[in-house]
Amino acid sequence: SQKSGPAAAPGLPIFVDLAYIPNHCSAKNVDQEFFKRIRSAYYVVSGNDAAGGEPSRAVLDALLDAKAQWGSNLQVTLIPTHDTEVTRDWYQQTHERQQELNIMVLASSSTVVMQDESFPACKIEF
């Protein structure tokens, strides 16, 4: 079926409150165009597979590059659900640019214990 309305028009951004970065923040499916089209107040990064390129440094850099082109200084919060070396390195190396672009990265020190297993968790509240 054919979509109508401004959200379906090519090239127009879609504004949302919360967006999950697809495919565990893998560069196979996400690039700068994703962040140009899907403009969110909160992006969830769930990748935790360094060998598989998840999360991808290129995707995190694409967020910075796209946000610089938004033409507005909306607050953006990045929510990594895992503490990874890629995310830590990216945070440290681009921290000044993140501040310039009004991007905040949340750190999660929470853990969940289920069936004798403990793992990191991120709690999102609005």
Per-residue pLDDT tens for 80-97?
988 889 999 999 999 999
Total Cβ atoms within 10 A of residue 26? 18
pLDDT band, very low/low/confident/very high, at 18 (cuts 50, 70, 90): very high
For residues 29 and 124, what is the distance between their CA atoms, to the nearest angstrom? 25
Query: What are the φ and ψ backbone dihedral angles of 15, each rounded to 5 degrees?
Result: -100, 130
Closest CA to 56 of 84, 36, 78, 37: 84
Segment 57-86, tens digit of pLDDT: 999 999 999 999 998 889 999 999 888 899
